[in-house]
Amino acid sequence: MFKSEHDMRAAGTWDESRQAVTETVCPYCGVGCMLELHVQDNSIVKVTSPLDNSVTAGHLCVKGRFGFQFVQKRRRG
């Protein structure tokens, strides 16, 4: 379980019915892994990959799976 999911469940704010899922391509390397971004309240709360994807078969590297935290940092640099 993602830490963000764990923390939100503990706080009672995790609500899959309010989450939108957007497909995109991972930017970290040239493999082209498909990502599914789970977004709730304008924040990415989880990243997965489709099980039927021929490249990833549902698996992601650590950057693809957890790199979304960088996107949401208010101050980068």
Is 26 strand, coil or helix?
coil
Average pLDDT score, the chain: 87
| pTM across the whole model | 0.79
3-state helix, strand, coil in the chain (%, to 5): 25, 25, 50
CB distance 39 to 31 below 8 Å: no
Phi/psi at 13 (5° precision)? -105, -5
The domains located in the chain, with CATH, are: 3-9+16-71 (2.20.25.90)
pLDDT digits (tens, 9 = 90+) for 26-60: 888 888 899 999 999 998 898 999 999 888 899 98
Find the largest Cα–Cα distance for the chain: 38
